Structure 1
Amino acid sequence: MNCDDASRHTTLDDVLRERAEQHPERVALVDPTESRRVWTYGELHERVRRRAATLSVREIRCGDRVVVQLPGSLDLFELLFALFRVGAVPVVVPPGARESVTRSVRGFTGTEAGETSGDIHPDDLALLQLVGDGVGVPRLVPLSHTELLRSLRDRAAIQEAGEHTVHLVAQPELPIGALGLLDWLAVLGAGGRLVLCPGPDPDTAFRVVAGERVTHAALPSRLAALWTEAGAVTAYDLGSLRTLVVGGGAFDERVARRVRPALGCSLRQVFGTVEGLVSWTRPDDGPEASATTQGRPVSAEDELRLVDEEGHDVPPGASGQLLGRGPSLVRSYWRSPEHDACFFTADGFHRTGAVARVTEAGLLVVERGPEIAARTGATGRAVRRTPAPRSRPPRSHTHEGHTELTPGMFPYVMPTPAMLPADHTGWILDPARAALLVLNLQNRFVRALEQEAAPATELLANACRLIDGARAAGVPVIHSVPAGERRAAGPGPVPYARPAGPSAGAEAEAFAAQVEPRAGDTVLTARKTSSSTNCGCPAC
């Protein structure tokens, strides 16, 4: 971070206070929409002071965890710095995340005012960031105040950020990722200016770049390609733009070589993860390295490994799954040992989910990034999905129990009771009008889940509780088996009767012992009608 002896600061709030004291008139944030709002460091500091007082009135205290689900906006930075000032811990969730994901985060972190962290001292924990948007226990990346400040200094160095930097926040709807919140905070920490762009498309962004004299921008490779194509023919003056940082995965070499001719700026390629790995091209690496690689880790002590699907190191120059370990990376997720076992190796390397190789010069080349797909919600916000790496290498054969109904899956963690939504319906169970349907809990299905590291034990335990509760309330329990499996002869539901003797495949097709039907339960055969099967009707 380009500030005087930044190592003496203990929190990000200390950095903001110093900036406001030294240069209160310097512009910190610009919202270039029609009303054009501008906040100086002095104004930001005053707004943070008032917001912190409001939080204190609401009894938000040191160590409390507060979910923050805002895009890159003036309000986001005011709230974040206010939380830092009162000592609370922001839990950053992308604004486009599903409500079920946000609810899980709230339940898991206990974000009610007054609760403090049990395993991490409140004075040490500075920030939690959600990574991924899958079901179950959320993956939260924790940063202490020391780790946060170090990360911001590293990111400021990548961008060559300083007091004269004017950085474009091109994707305010995506605060979490290789390019996001930490980069924005790094610019503020360096005394630079953030310009909050209303949209990343070239027509919108180029107008803002020209009008606000933007010097730096950070984009994913897809948007960088669009900018490069449009920059060659644009009428906007992009002469102020000095550096374009491109991250988020592989960047087409042909496009990379066109960045300087089209946009007139230097190119920095970056590969980063929320867990802390940052690899980037330095100015002294030369234009060839900037066009073809993602450079070296920000810390010389960070280690990279490339392994095959069996977890063995690949030969030099070969491609493999990228693992990282070192002082820049977290060593575990927050209170998630299940996720730790899945995403971290026994010797502490993080499985990034990317495929890469290393050149003879020791430079990283990312061939496929961890963001496999994207979905766009009703609001038009893109939400990146990063599937979890498997906790064991994938097998070439099909597991027992795998059918078209049970495709392969990534490991996940079962939600805890605290993460479930409260009942607001007011419904009362009427046993005469209710039934509990138990679907496909035979041994072969359960074993398939176990082989994929899914939480089969928790699943069966929860199913047992539901079944026992239904029986106690007098609710009928109905078990379903796929067509072709063990069942009584004849169509329709039949009372359950335990088979008298063994049969071919009987053990695999039998119900899991924990949920074995009892006398009085009913077993149904689930039949799937095929459109290509002659069913005997006149149309066939």
Structure 2
Amino acid sequence: MSASVQGYVATELARGGYQNVHDLLAQACAKHPQRAAFSCGDDHLTYAELGSLADAFARYLRHHAGLQPGDRLALQLPNSLQYPIAVFGALKAGLVIVNTNPQYTAAEARHQFRDSGARAILVLDRLLPLVRAVQADTELEHVMLTSVDDLQRPIHEGSEAGTQRFMQALRLGAESPPLEREAGLDRLALLQYTGGTTGVSKGAMLSHRNLLANVLQTIELFDKPGLLEPEKDVRIAPLPLYHIMAFATNCLSSVGMGLHTVFIRDGRNLDETIAAMQRYPFSLLSGINTLFVGLMNHPEFRSIDFSHLKWATSGGAPLSSEVGRRWQALTGAPIREGFGLTEASPVVATGTQLSPYREGYIGQALIETELRTVDDEGNDVAPEMPGELWLRGPQVMRGYWQRPDETAKVLTPEGWLKTGDIALLDAAGFVKIVDRKKDMILVSGFNVFPNEIEDVLMQHPSVRECVAVGVPDARKGEAVKVFVSLKDDAADEQALLEHCRQYLTGYKMPSYLELRDELPKTAVGKLLRRQLRDEARGSAG
């Protein structure tokens, strides 16, 4: 169990008078109105400007669109300044956000819109054909359109029937009667759908209390002398805001801490990310393992000034220890891995450059977050022995939207959330995620964790990315197969297997190794282990 202070979050919620996530923005506007809040490309918003535009959007939603507290609003946008305007405006009006990946196929979008019962959507204008293709099968009534450069070159009048331009909505809202923020900590604030890489996509129900709790837990971690300076610190934020980690940290927590956050429209565009890192004296960076690898291999990486960088945060997928060591050697600043999941709003454990650190471990749980590791019968296992990670805290979701049966599978009556992750906990509360429970490979009765094999391969200088999976084997039950993409031609399959043999015991050795130019990823940048596993198992019969 982690060290925690019982009642910390409730005390902070009461002390700050929080009743709505929008209160984070209201307080930031009062503290530093002229401080830059968000930048994206050449667009910038101060906190005062963000507060004014969010207020206008809230008024439009209630007074013109006729939406009511509890109605769902889908956001299908890339990173842009329109995103935080819409988020804080909708939450002020009491609406429920439904983050939607703009790269979804029609089938994926239809499922999410229908399942959530969204009545309105704010969508990038070029995605309107997709919305039109599924609208008849959904409850979508209000379609609002925006363009990437709407704030610089606003479009107020649209030619598409049955739609409203976002900039016109803001104009109409600004002329409408004032609107008080909708109070109620236990109101639903967000339906965040699980990524679908582990099964049917389900909407995690996150309340204002859940999201605010996680922001306050994060602020407590950073509230150390000399750690953060809200009037100076700049965060580079490449990860997409429709992803729960980026939504909570780069949008909500950034506002809660008064940071200046620089959005990258497309985090896969390394040139755009590098340009932002060259332009701003950034002190914080959030990313993912694949992003750090890509940045370090970029020809202009060494031209960046890292003198202001305090630390980088990695989340969304496991961080390779070798990548972390290489990053610190090149930049002088560490990467601190964070662990979270959609159902926990999402941050569970992370650290800063001042936090106690143990290599290979993520760090310690946030305040008022309890962790335990259990066996298949739910019994606690000994420290530093693998078991399924369970957690409990004020950030844990209410359940899955309209799926009580699925909720019962992951939430115990005592409030423990079963994460499905295999982890180790040491006596000091450091947590190490060994692997997803279902990703474990059973070789001749021995448990083999793919991350261990991948970490070994990532130490080879020619390896860019790799994924290890289990495939059927008549003799061993399962055998290990690895998919590898290389940075150069200095190694072949035999050389990589010889490298593995130096670090892995016999039963952990890959039986099969396949080289590929690229490995498949989600839009967020996660390597698609499940897709490769299914493919490998299909080929193996």
TM-score, with structure 1 as normaliser: 0.61
Which of 403, 407, 415 is residue 336 of structure 1 equivalent to?
403
Q: Residue 258 of structure 1 aligns to a residue in which SS? A: helix
The amino acid across from 1:278 in the alignment is V
Q: Which residue of 2 is the match for residue 305 of structure 1?
A: 373
Aligned AA for 2:196?
D
2:384 corresponds to 1:317: yes
Label 1:97 to 1:338 Cα distance change in 2 as closer, same or farther (>3 A). farther
1:193 aligned onto 2:260: yes
Instruction: Give per-residue Cα distances to partners, 1:142-170, cap 9 Å, x unaligned.
Output: 22222221111223445665343211111
Pairing 1:354–2:361 present: no
2:17 is matched with which residue? 8
Identify which of 325, 333, 339 aligns with 1:257.
325
- Report whether the alignment pairs 1:363 with 2:433: no
Contact 2:521 2:528 (8 Å CA) reproduced: no
Q: Does the C-alpha gap of structure 1 residues 155 and 375 become closer, same or farther in structure 2, counting only changes over 3 Å? A: farther
Which has the greater radius of gyration? 1
Displacement of 1:231 in angstroms is: 9.2
Specify the alignment match of 1:74 in structure 2: 81
Give the alignment of 1:185-334 within 5 angstroms. 185-200=252-267, 202-228=270-296, 234-276=302-344, 278-286=348-356, 288-289=357-358, 291-308=359-376, 313-334=380-401
Q: Deviations over 1:407-463 (max 9, x none)?
A: 9xxxxxxxxxxxxxxxxxxxxxxxxxxxxxxxxxxxxxxxxxxxxxxxxxxxxxxxx
For the Cα contact (< 8 Å) 1:104–1:136, is it kept in 2? Answer: no
From 106, 109, 126, the counterpart of 2:189 = 126
Post-superposition CA distance 1:42-82 (Å, at most 9, x none) = 21122222222322201112221112222221111111111
User: 2:246, 2:22 → 1: CA distance?
Assistant: 22
Task: Spell out, residue by residue over 1:183-236, the C-alpha distance to the aligned partner (whole angstroms, 9 max, x if none).
Answer: 421011211111012444554323211212121111112222343555996122
Cα gap change, 1:296/1:38 in structure 2, threshold over 3 Å: closer, same or farther? Answer: same
- Whether 1:155 aligns to 2:223 is no
C-alpha separation in 1, matches of 2:67 and 2:15: 28
Q: Which residue identity lines up with residue 25 of structure 1 in the other structure?
A: Q
1:488-527 alignment, distance < 5 Å: none
Q: Whose relative contact order is higher, 1 or 2, with alpha carbons under 8 Å and at least 6 apart? A: 2
Kept in 1, the 8 Å contact 2:72–2:98? The answer is yes
Name the CA distance, whole Å, in 2 between partners of 1:123 and 1:61: 16
Q: Which of 51, 54, 64 is the matching residue for 1:45?
A: 51
Aligned identity (percent) is 24
**1:96 alignment partner in structure 2:** 103
Q: Distance in 1 between matches of 2:259 and 2:243?
A: 20
Question: 1: distance between equivalents of 2:353 and 2:281?
Answer: 22
Decide which structure has greater helix share: 2
Matching of residue 31 in structure 1 with residue 94 in structure 2: no
Structure 1 residues 91 and 364, CA, compared in 2 at 3 Å: closer, same or farther? same
Question: What is the correspondence of 1:405-416 to structure 2 with a 5 Å cutoff?
Answer: none
2:349 partner amino acid: S
Q: Which amino acid aligns with 2:336?
A: R
Q: Give the SS at the match of 2:119.
A: coil
CA distance in 1, matches of 2:309, 2:436: 27
Quote the offset at 1:282 in angstroms. 5.0
Query: Is the 1:72–1:169 Cα contact (8 Å) retained in structure 2?
Result: no
Change (3 A) 1:225 1:155: farther
C-alpha distance in 2 between matches for 1:209 and 1:5: 38
Aligned to 2:29: 20
Distance 1:137 1:345 in 2: 21
**Cα separation, 2, equivalents of 1:207 and 1:28:** 19
Indicate conservation of the 8 Å contact 1:27/1:40, yes or no. Answer: yes
CA distance in 2, matches of 1:271, 1:187: 18
Contact 1:167–1:195, Cα closer than 8 Å, also in 2: yes
The one-letter code of the counterpart of 1:149 is: L
Cα displacement string for residues 113-167 of structure 1 (whole angstroms, at most 9, x for unaligned residues): 799xxxxx89722222111337997411222222221111223445665343211
Distance 1:188 1:233, change over 3 A: closer
* Structure 2 residue matching 1:292: 3-state secondary structure: coil
Over 3 Å counting, the alpha-carbon distance change for 1:231 and 1:253 in structure 2 is: farther
Structure 2's unaligned 5+ residue stretches are: 1-8, 121-138, 141-183, 440-466, 468-518, 531-536
Structure 2 CA distance for partners of 1:325 and 1:38, relative to 1, 3 Å: same
Q: In the TM superposition, what is the alpha-carbon distance from 1:298 to its structure 2 partner?
A: 0.6
CA apart distance, 1:5: 8.7
Aligned-pair RMSD on alpha carbons? 3.7
Q: Is the 8 A contact 1:29 1:195 kept in 2?
A: yes
Q: Which amino acid aligns with 1:343?
A: V
Distance 1:313 1:179 in 2: 32
Q: Is the 8 A contact 1:108 1:137 kept in 2?
A: no
CA contact (8 A) 2:368 2:394 kept: no
Q: Deviations over 1:351-390 (max 9, x none)?
A: 323222123433111123589788558xx77577697xxx
SS of the counterpart of 1:365? strand
SS at match of 1:234: helix
Q: CA deviation at 1:83?
A: 0.5
* Unmatched tracts of structure 1, length 5 or more: 116-120, 388-402, 408-540
**What is the CA-CA distance between 1:182 and the residue it aligns to?**
4.0
Closer, same or farther: CA 109–100 of 1 in aligned 2, 3 Å: same
Provide the rounded CA distance (Å) in 2 between the counterparts of 1:4 and 1:343.
Answer: 27
The answer to whether residue 203 in structure 2 is matched with residue 140 in structure 1 is yes
Greater mean deviation of Cα atoms: 337-346 or 84-93: 337-346
Letter of the 1:209 partner, please give it.
M
1:209-264 Cα offsets, whole Å, 9 max, x none, are 12121211111122223435559961222222222011234322233233332112
8 Å CA contact 1:320–1:356 kept in 2: the answer is yes
1:169–1:197 CA contact under 8 A, matched in 2: yes
